[in-house]
């Protein structure tokens, strides 16, 4: 039996952190291999909701160090099983950022940070991960996940402008998880903050020839159906997952493209 390969959306909101909102964080799962991409606010509780904790993770990989992408990290480790947790990501803005995350129980768990740059690769269980360059006005990378024993692929650029480098990094990917922080009417704000619009996300998906586009890092200022509709102006296969929704990549018949299915609210 082929291992299930899926992305569970632990949080889908942008940096405007509000009570009860879970900021951007994804769980990538292949069989028994679990990798969290960014640790947004509420990520620890969301992992618990799907029956996992820090001790069940191969690693946490970060796209960048903005607070909405790391705010849930101390709680995640404090609630996890004793033992080291591997963290991999770009250079922190300063040593103080990493020291702050390692305060208290984090030191007791032996948490370590591996600083990487674009082009780095690592093997985690049945997955090969490759970091690639993104543009977000700070030290940042995106992540491409490849099934070592198969052909299924996922890319999670994190927060980024839709640059030519990102297009090449995600070309022909089965599932692209990309931000849609703004709508096109606020394009200037997207550019100024090194974010992207839903329209640009659709354009990126079309240019790169991806299989399915999943939109995340959503702002409460826009209705979700408007975000999806705008992306669909440029690309047909679009999903807008909610918190704890799961997108599964299913092995297709020989010669066919990997099937991608949105499954609402993952459970253990």
Q: What is the pLDDT of residue 67?
A: 87
Q: Which CATH architecture has domain 5-263?
A: 4-Layer Sandwich (3.60)
- List, for the chain, all residue ranges whose pLDDT scores fall below the cut of 50: 103-108
> What is the number of other CB atoms lying within 10 angstroms of the CB of residue 4?
12
What is residue 15's predicted lDDT score, i.e. its pLDDT?
75
């Amino acid at each position: 039996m082929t291992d299930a390969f899926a992305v569970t959306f632990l949080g889908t909101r942008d940096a405007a952190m509000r009570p009860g909102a879970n900021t951007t964080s994804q769980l990538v799962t292949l069989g028994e291999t679990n990798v969290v991409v960014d640790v947004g606010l509420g990520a620890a509780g969301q992992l618990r909701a799907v029956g996992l904790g820090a001790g069940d993770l191969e690693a946490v990989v970060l796209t960048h160090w903005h607070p909405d992408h790391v705010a849930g990290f101390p709680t995640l480790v404090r609630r996890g099983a004793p033992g080291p947790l591997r963290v991999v990501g770009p250079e922190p803005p300063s040593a103080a950022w990493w020291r702050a995350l390692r305060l208290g129980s984090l030191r007791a768990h032996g948490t370590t940070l591996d600083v990487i740059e674009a082009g780095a690769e690592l093997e985690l269980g049945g997955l090969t991960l490759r970091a690639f360059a993104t543009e977000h006005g700070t030290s940042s990378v995106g992540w491409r996940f490849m099934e070592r024993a198969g052909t299924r692929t996922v890319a999670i650029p994190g927060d980024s402008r839709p640059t030519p480098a990102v297009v090449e990094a995600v070309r022909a990917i089965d599932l692209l998880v990309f931000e849609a922080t703004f709508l096109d009417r606020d394009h200037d704000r997207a550019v100024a903050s090194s974010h992207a619009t839903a329209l640009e996300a659709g354009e990126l998906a079309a240019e790169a020839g991806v299989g399915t586009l999943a939109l995340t890092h959503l702002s409460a200022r826009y209705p979700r159906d408007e975000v999806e509709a705008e992306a669909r102006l440029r690309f047909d296969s679009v999903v807008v997952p909610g918190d704890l929704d799961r997108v599964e990549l299913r092995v297709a018949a020989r010669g066919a493209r990997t099937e991608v299915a949105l499954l609402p609210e993952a459970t253990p």
